Amino acid sequence: MEIIPLLLLVLVCAALVLGYPVALTLAGVSILFSLLCIPAGIFDPDIFKSIPLRIFGIMNNVTLLAVPLFIFMGTILEKSGIAGRMLENMALAFKNFRGGLSISIIVVGALLAASTGIVGATVVTMGLMSLPVLIQQGYKKDFSTELTLGILQHHHQLLSCHHRLIMSNAYQRAQNNMGIFSQKTVTVGDLFIGAIVPGILICTSYLVYTIYQNSKNLNIQFLPDSNAPLSEILKTLALPLILIILVLGSIIGGIATPTEAAAIGAMGAMIIALVNGKLTLGFLKETSEKTAIVTTMIFTILIGASIFSLIFRGVGGDDLIELIFSAIPGGPYAALIFVLLIVFLLGFILDFIEI
């Protein structure tokens, strides 16, 4: 019977490849598949009674309350143009270095990734701003494209606040599903600390690669001198940096819960927008609408993934997973490598939230 859950996985992946929405695919394909399995006695229809409880559990989760607050913070930083001014002023700080613009993109991308998270418009905005300037300054087109999109996307996956929240929640739910009620807690702060070393490594690797590429490209032009006062540069860079340090520092240090830190971040972002003269009623309306859309997307995906996991277990998915891991030689480390390989392959068609 292990072929049944495997068939469900194949159908879901096929629907995703065809371009159907992820959240609706996970829930819809799973429910239709389970309905076909009921007459054959493979799926117990009483399992459907657990779906409302799962949805209520997601919507009633206090930790996930931080998600819309973090999204609101990131949307304000993106819509107010803070990201663009940070990039411009950071480039001025490296204007005396060959390839200073590319270095500034890496640094600003790493700083903003922790706050903007899943707000993908920031990545697009940074790319639209920096890509034409990079090409104009003499950078190669392939290198410029990889820098503006690839690097920012990697930072976004490693350092995003929302991913830590969802992973912490997923770990606790996995223990519940296994019948472990004396749970081992992995806090969001622990997950952030675990991401520090990989984040530093990937940033350093890109910096080294960028400096190496810049040293070979003699066509790169130095940035022109700017008359921008030092106080303006410091104001643009200091306020977002202070906000990010307060939010992440309070979570990592255990001073505030993720929800409290997210509230601080949302209020701090509004203060930054006010200082920069962007905080208006129309601005708040636009950012609130964008926050609602992105938040709805995230929670719809979480609900769809919860329904999929419930039905996957109902058709014998646990037995399939146990069979696969028992057949892998090498113990826990080989199993870990196998899981990482699956996540890597799923990354071609899914974002981290869906995986």
Q: Which two tokens stand for residue 162?
A: 């929302």
Residue 308's Cβ-count burial label (10 Å; 0-12, 13-18, 19+) is buried
Q: Quote the pLDDT of residue 118.
A: 46
- Residue 50 contacts residue 56 (beta carbons within 8 Å): no
d(CA 110, CA 107): 5
**Which residues are CB-neighbours of 42 under 8 A, at least 6 positions away?**
1, 4, 315, 316
Q: Quote the pLDDT of residue 177.
A: 57
Q: Quote the pLDDT of residue 33.
A: 92
d(CA 211, CA 113): 21
**pTM for this model (two decimals):** 0.72
**pLDDT mean values, one per 10 residues, the chain (355 residues):** 83 86 88 91 89 86 80 81 72 73 77 56 58 75 73 54 52 56 58 72 83 78 63 72 80 78 86 85 90 87 86 85 80 81 71 57
Q: Quote the pLDDT of residue 122.
A: 53
d(CA 91, CA 107): 10
Of 173, 177, 162, 14, which Cα lies nearest the Cα of 74?
A: 162
Tell me how far CA of residue 44 lies from CA of 35, 47, 156, in angstroms.
10, 6, 40
**Which residues are CB-neighbours of 212 under 8 A, at least 6 positions away?**
none
- Render 328-351 in DSSP notation, one character per residue: -TTHHHHHHHHHHHHHHHHTTT--
